Chains A and B, each alone.
Chain A
Amino acid sequence: MRQFPDPDPGQPDLRSPGSYLTRLAGANRVIVALGVVYSTVSVVANALIPAAIGRAVDDGLTERDQRALLLWGGAVLALGILQAVTGILHDRCALTASLGGSFRTLQFVTDHATRLGASLPRRVSAGEVMSVGVADVGQIGNALAFVSRAVGAVAAVVVVAAIMLVTSWQLGLVVLVGVPVMVVATTLTLRPLHRRQVGLRAVQSELTSSAVDIVGGLRVLRGIGGEQMFADGYRSESQRARRAAVRVARVEAVLDGAKVLLPGLLVTAVVWQGARYVLDGRLTPGQLVAFYGYATFLSIPLRRLTNAAGAVMKGVVAARRVTTLLSLQPHDTGGASPTGDSGAPPTAAGAGFHDPVSGLRIEPGRLTAVVCAFSDDAGPLADRIGRYADSDVTFGDVPLRQLDIDDVRRRILVVDNAAHLFSGSLRVELDPAGRAARVPDVVHRAVGTASAHDVLAGLPAGLDTVVADAGRELSGGQGQRLRLARALTVDPEVLVLVEPTSAVDAHTESRIAAGLAAARDRRTTVVFSTSPILLDCAEHVVFVEAGKAVAEGTHAELLADDRYRAVVAREEDPA
């Protein structure tokens, strides 16, 4: 069997859900083709068993010939073994095709999520990505697995039809007309079922969302109560989903009945007519038994065809959601053209910024603090400097939006408190650029500057500890210091920090402030903060009110400004 993941999954075909699935199947075309062959041999071997049994009855039993009985009995056994071996070979091919589709889609989705990057939360909810990555991926795999199954089923029908036509063209015709009629009739019952299934799926995914919501807010619920309310809410939603499922089950039950009735009626017709032919001498009793066998057997490929139709339908629905997700484009924040100006050459000091909207000016090579009277102003301002939003900001003397986006990300690092700490070994997590290979103590020094040695000391394996999802085991202050350490390890040309010490205590904060100034010595650093300790260490402070830079100077100078003092010295404000 082929191994996954494919090192080069190729490009997805996003023109339509159908072409997406076709391209996926095409990537494993040898396997899919082999699967078709095995499936066909397997099903045809199975289909020939009734013929062999019929010969055994005619030549062996009716003719009372022991050798013929043994011969045809052996043929049945040989066909059985052939069917078993090719059957499992087909299963392996189907699994490979299915995993190929699922895993490739997962690779596409992961790759696209990383390429959407900062645009992702603006384009799609994380829950939607998860729903595609967990549920739809499985449906796509399933649909691909059913391709060879369906082809095998069709082949079986053809072979059986041929045998029957040779034996008795009238009876063969009955079966040949009967089978397509059955398929059409089943598809007709399938259509309203599909509609209802779509409705049911929506209800069920709402139900899942509610459960996921409860899981997400579990800490809150366990703290303040309301479990009963959520349990009740979930229960009534669950009961609604149950009733919807029973409504769908009603249609399904009709379909199940039809699956018995239609082949059954066909069998009856064949037997009726066949028995008459035996009386006329046009057919032997053994051939009648064989015809009965064919007619019963045909329900297997028929069922496979309907299952395959269902799986492909679900696969198309899933592929539509996948292609929609994969077609999302990153938020346009300017020219990402490869010919884009790379701006001022990187220098040790880094370049400065100018934001014409706010009037904010950042001089290169020093630690600038920005105090926003309204904390909501800080994020958008930092987003403009880091080009997470389109703006007229200039970097050096070049409009930021004209630079190549890769250059921007390499040179300017914006860290806010929503920055994600990924699970995994802290040694890797704190050194995303892998700089420790060249500068052995870089992580150690950054952790020291962020005053986070005590965080590592509290972990069982220090730097080699594998932290859990999103660093939930860490307190807000611990996580914040590790994020700061990570940013310092990256050591970008320009570092923009948004409220980097909002969750740490005053004592730790003063240590961080002193260390930060030293670590970023003569390099462009912008800190958004309202904390006097941090501001006191900045070489320059800009005060922003209502989105405009209204005052600047050192912290000590600005304290003369009442509006500024009201913001930074809030604890002294008379109530």
Chain B
Amino acid sequence: MTGLPVASATRARAHARRLALRHPAELGRVVVLHILAAASGLVVPWLLGRLVEDVARGTDTVDRVAVLICAFVVTQAALTGFAMLASARLGEKVLAQLREEFVDDVLALPQSTVERAGTGDLVTRTTRDVDLLSRAVRHAIPETLISAVTIVLTLGGLVLLGPLLALPCLVAVPILWAATRWFLARARDAYLRENASYTRIAAGLSETADGARTVEALRIGARRRARADDDIAAADAAERYTMRLRTVFLPIVDTAYVLPVVTTLVIGGAFHLNGLASLGAVTAATLYVQQLLTPVDTLLFWLNELQLGSAALARLLGVRRPDQPTCDDDATTGPAFPGPSRSAPLVLATPVSAAGDRAGIAAHGVSFGYRDAVDVLRDVDLEVGPGERLAIVGASGAGKSTLGRVLAGVHRPRAGSITVDDVDVGGLPLEQLRTEITLVTQEHHVFRGSLRDNVVLPVPDADDAAVEHALRAVDAWDWAADLGLDARVGSGGTALSPAQAQQLALARLTLADPHTVILDEATSVLDPRSARHVERSLAAVLAGRTVIAIAHRLHTAHDADRIAVMEEGRIVELGSHDDLLRAGGAYAALWNSWHGHPDRP
């Protein structure tokens, strides 16, 4: 399985930076509140240091200092609460933007990429990675921010107490620096590997659940369990590797931040014994350094989560524009499809050509393959005039569906061109491409939402009359009216049968009303009688449109103006039904085999 790409660390960092600066005022407020909260937290040890000195000397300032300490504790608590709320607001805003952009990116993803990667990977990214990123934004980033602010302020406080007293704690810096560098250099890839291993677990379980009946029928439960065990073993190995990294890293840093406490105490103590520092200053300095423990600990703890978050971000951004070019990715053949949220180029408003002089759809010298070195389409030439009905027939695997997808602009040809009214399909923005060509396949997905939502996809502002008209055109009005247009369908709602789902797909098509329709076995799930009826009503609705029907049943071909016969990725015959029968070639052979029963001519 070729996974979806993952963005580089540099790109993820740059993106995170841009996100952070998108709301400067709110970010500023969050930082200031955290600084104030941390600063009021620092006053307490300082007051205590003074108190210790005073009481050691026998001076009674206890009540005054205690009230002050109490006041600062309350202030710090209030400021902390406000700071956390402000950062949650900002975090949720950024998070919502991130996931919405991710969904936009998914919606702009070339289909070929999705098919190759499988939905398991995308599902993991939409669930686990969005979740990990949420944790990072909700907890790791604010905690890191608070810790960083506290550390800086505490160091500042130390310098104020006496620059000499600030020196001993620096002993930890080189150790922390080296250990952290060592850890971070290895952690990112290790955590990416860990995430990938969980993706495999999810994909495996998803297959077991989706194919549960097949598992029972073929009695392959043991094999599915073995697959899960393998995936678990891989995840376990990945987890143990990251644990090994932490086993080296954490004890070093833990020791590294006890060290400054000891050095401040001992060296500061020596200063005091030699009259270079007061007892109060040494006490306060020791308390400050000890107080540094918590934010440094927090910082390093959340670094871990930040790593996970950044790995998740890299995976979410990976969907945006594939880093690794594949044979039919837009990256290698032209500009990416504009996403739904991005502004479409200006050409959108201009029709390709006036309705009068339409030239239809044409393929010239088209070659295409899903993998390198294996072409599914080979040098295909095809011209379909406006309003013409063309049927594509051929043996399974001859490349019919692939030709349909290439004609519809789903895949870019490796060589050659597809033009609609003499304009290259590759250059058309997707929104315009759709008003020109619509592809309906045998695949049907019922979306979560109302029945109406499921029909109005191509024309979101369609009124109920239009929806009813579309449903009537595909014989679906009876059951649709029973359910009601507001009925919730799709996962979590009323379950629709495959036939009903297919009718919905066709209803969408009649609503979209494009110039050219490509039907890829679009009625195959309907039972024979309904299929025939639906096809007939559909033909009435689509009168005057260019229709390219991919069919394995020959009656569809029989009704078409022209028939293209495909073999091994090439069009080997092209002509009307009668022409082809007379020619006595592959089509005639197919027709006779289909017609091979005794009482038919």
A505→B131 CA distance, assembly (Å): 46
Give chain B nearest CB distance to A182 CB in angstroms: 13
Which of A21-29, A165-173, A207-215, A334-342 is the contact stretch? A207-215
Top 3 closest pairs, chain A to chain B, by CB: A80-B258, A420-B211, A117-B216
Cβ-defined contact, B224 with A114, below 8 A: yes
**Residue B318 CB within 8 A of the other chain:** no
**Are the C-beta atoms of B458 and A69 separated by less than 8 Å?**
no
Q: Does residue B434 face the partner (Cβ distance < 8 Å to A)? A: yes
Is B463 at the interface (CB under 8 A from chain A)? no
**Contact A107/B62 with A62-B56, A76-B265, A231-B340 known, Cβ cut-off 8 Å:** no
With beta carbons under 8 angstroms apart, the residue of A1, A410, A414, A508 that contacts B240 is A1
Interface string of B440-481 (1 = CB under 8 A from A): 111111011100010011101000000000000000000000
Contact of B396 among A250, A386, A481, A555 (CB under 8 A): A481
User: Does B583 sit at the interface, judged by CB under 8 A?
Assistant: no
Given A432-B220, A458-B397, A73 and B524 touching (CB < 8 A)?
no
Q: Does A522 contact B (CB under 8 A)?
A: no
Tell me the minimal C-beta distance from B587 to chain A in angstroms: 10
> A489 → chain B, closest Cβ, in Å?
10
CB pair A116–B212 under 8 Å, yes or no, is: yes
Q: Which of A208-238 contact B (CB under 8 A)?
A: 208-231, 233-235, 238
Per-position binary interface string of chain B over residues 107-124, scored 1 when its CB falls under 8 Å from any chain A CB and 0 otherwise: 111110011111110111
In the assembled complex, the Cα of A233 lies from the Cα of B118 at a distance in Å of 24
Given contact pairs A5-B229, A114-B221, A388-B213, A477 touches B396 in the complex (Cβ within 8 A): yes
B221/A77 in contact, CB under 8 A: no
Chain A, interface size: which category? 35 or more
A547 at interface (Cβ–Cβ under 8 A)? Answer: no
Cβ–Cβ contact A5 & B236, under 8 A: yes
A229's partner among B251, B460, B490 (CB-CB below 8 A) is B460
Judging by beta carbons under 8 Å apart, are B410 and A223 in contact?
yes
Please state if A476 and B202 are interface contacts (CB–CB under 8 Å).
no
A282-300 CB contact bits vs B (8 Å, 1 = yes)? 0001001100110010001
The complex places the Cα of A3 from the Cα of B240 at a distance, in Å, of 9
Give which listed residue, B107, B119, B217, contacts A231 with CB less than 8 A: B107
Pairwise interchain contact A221-B457, C-beta atoms closer than 8 A:
yes
A572 at the interface (CB under 8 A from B): yes
- Decide if A420 touches B207 in the complex (CB within 8 Å): yes
Encoded as 1 (CB less than 8 Å from any A CB) or 0, chain B from 548 to 559 comes to 000011110010
What are 22 sample pairs from A and B whose C-beta atoms fall under 8 A apart?
Answer: A53-B286, A81-B258, A117-B216, A119-B212, A126-B206, A134-B128, A212-B126, A213-B490, A215-B126, A219-B445, A227-B108, A229-B460, A230-B447, A275-B51, A418-B213, A433-B219, A460-B373, A469-B1, A473-B115, A504-B395, A507-B590, A569-B597
Interface centre among A125, A268, A288 (most CB of B within 10 A): A268
> Nearest Cβ distance between residue A463 and chain B, in whole angstroms?
15
List A residues 232-280 near B (Cβ within 8 Å). 233-235, 238-239, 241-242, 245-246, 249-250, 252-254, 256-261, 264-265, 267-268, 271-272, 275-276, 278-279
Given known A-B contacts A127-B491, A209-B448, A265-B73, A504 and B532 have beta carbons under 8 A apart: no
- The chain B residue sitting closest to A42, CB to CB, is B254
Question: A312 → chain B, closest Cβ, in Å?
Answer: 18
Residues of A within 8 A of B287 (CB): 289, 292-293
A-contacting 9-mer, from B8-16, B75-83, B421-429: B75-83
Min distance, Cβ B331 to any Cβ of chain A, angstroms: 17
Question: Across the interface, do B552 and A211 meet the contact criterion of CB distance under 8 Å?
Answer: no
The verdict on B44 contacting chain A, using a C-beta distance below 8 Å, is yes
State how many angstroms separate the Cβ of B408 from the closest Cβ of chain A. Answer: 7
Indicate if the CB atoms of A267 and B212 lie closer than 8 Å.
Answer: no
A135 vs B250: C-alpha distance when bound (angstroms): 27
**Contact bitstring B222-261, A, C-beta under 8 A = 1, else 0:** 0111011100110110011001001100111011011101
Determine the main DSSP class of B at the interface with A: helix
Measured CB to CB, the nearest residue on chain B to A474 is B397
B258–A276 touching, CB < 8 Å: no
Query: For residues 184 through 216 of chain A, which have their beta carbon under 8 Å from a beta carbon of chain B?
Result: 207-216
List the one stretch of A392-400, A438-446, A530-538 in contact with chain B.
A530-538
B350 contacts A by Cβ under 8 Å: no
Report B92-117 CB contacts with A as 1/0, cut-off 8 Å.
11011001100110111111001111
Closest Cβ neighbor of A251 among chain B residues: B85
Q: Are A570 and B555 in contact (CB under 8 A)?
A: yes
> What is the chain A residue whose CB lies nearest that of B227?
A424
Q: Which of the candidate stretches A33-41, A82-90, A154-162, A345-353 sits at the interface with the other chain?
A: A82-90
Give Cα A88–Cα B214 distance, bound, in whole angstroms.
Answer: 46
In the complex, chain A residues whose CB is within 8 Å of the CB of B228: 5, 106-107, 110
A70 at the B interface (CB under 8 A): yes
Please judge, given known A-B contacts A229-B453, A271-B66, whether A214 and B55 are in contact too, CB under 8 Å.
no
Report B295 CB to chain A, min CB distance, Å. Answer: 13
B323-340 contacts to A, CB under 8 A, are: 339-340
* Known contacts A208-B127, A231-B341; is-contact A271 B597 (Cβ 8 Å): no
CA distance A556 to B111 in the complex (A): 46
Determine if A508 and B81 form an interchain contact, defined as CB atoms under 8 angstroms apart: no
Asked if A409 is an interface residue, CB under 8 A from chain B, the answer is yes
User: Is B186 on the interface with A (CB-CB < 8 A)?
Assistant: no
With an 8 A cutoff between CB atoms, is B401 at the interface? yes
Q: Does A490 contact B (CB under 8 A)?
A: yes
Pick from A428, A433, A473 the residue with the most CB of B within 10 Å: A473
Known: A1-B243, A4-B236, A70-B266. A223 touches B491 (CB 8 A): no
- Quick check: A99 and B236 within 8 Å, CB to CB? yes
Picked from B78, B212, B247, B339, the residue with its CB within 8 Å of the CB of A121 is B212
Residue of B nearest to A567 (CB): B528
Q: Separation in Å of the A438 CB from the closest CB of chain B? A: 17
Question: Which residues of A are found within 8 Å of B115, using beta-carbon distances?
Answer: 219, 468, 472-473
Question: What residues of A have a CB within 8 angstroms of the CB of B526 in the complex?
Answer: 375
Assess the B100–A409 pair: CB atoms within 8 A.
no
A573 CA to B157 CA in the complex, in Å? 94
Q: Decide if B183 is an interface residue (CB 8 Å cutoff).
A: no
Q: Does B25 contact A (CB under 8 A)?
A: no
Shortest CB–CB separation between residue A58 and chain B, in angstroms? 10
B512 located at the interface, meaning its Cβ lies under 8 Å from any Cβ of chain A in the complex: yes
- The answer to whether A246 and B55 have CB atoms under 8 Å apart is no
B92 touches A530 (CB 8 A): no
Q: In the docked arrangement, what's the CA distance between A53 and B99, Å? A: 49
User: Does B69 reach chain A (CB closer than 8 Å)?
Assistant: yes
The interface residues of chain B lying within 8 Å CB-to-CB of A288 are 52, 55
Q: Is B572 an interface residue (CB 8 A)?
A: no
Within 8 A of A (CB), among B195-220: 198, 201-220
Q: In the complex the two chains form, what is the Cα distance from A414 to B596 in whole Å? A: 28
| B492 part of interface (Cβ distance < 8 Å) | yes
Asked if A16 is at the interface (CB within 8 A of a chain B CB), the reply is no
Which residue from A233, A256, A480 sits with its C-beta under 8 Å from B84?
A256
Q: B354 an interface residue at 8 Å Cβ cutoff?
A: no
Q: Does the CB pair A213–B447 fall under 8 Å?
A: yes
Q: Are B396 and A475 in contact (CB under 8 A)?
A: yes
Interface string of A125-145 (1 = CB under 8 A from B): 111011001110000000000
* Residues from chain A with Cβ under 8 Å of B266 in the complex: 56, 69-70, 73
Partner of B99, one of A80, A215, A238, A260: A238
**B210–A95 touching, CB < 8 Å:** no
Task: Decide yes or no whether A562 CB sits under 8 A from chain B.
Answer: no
Closest to B203 in A: A469
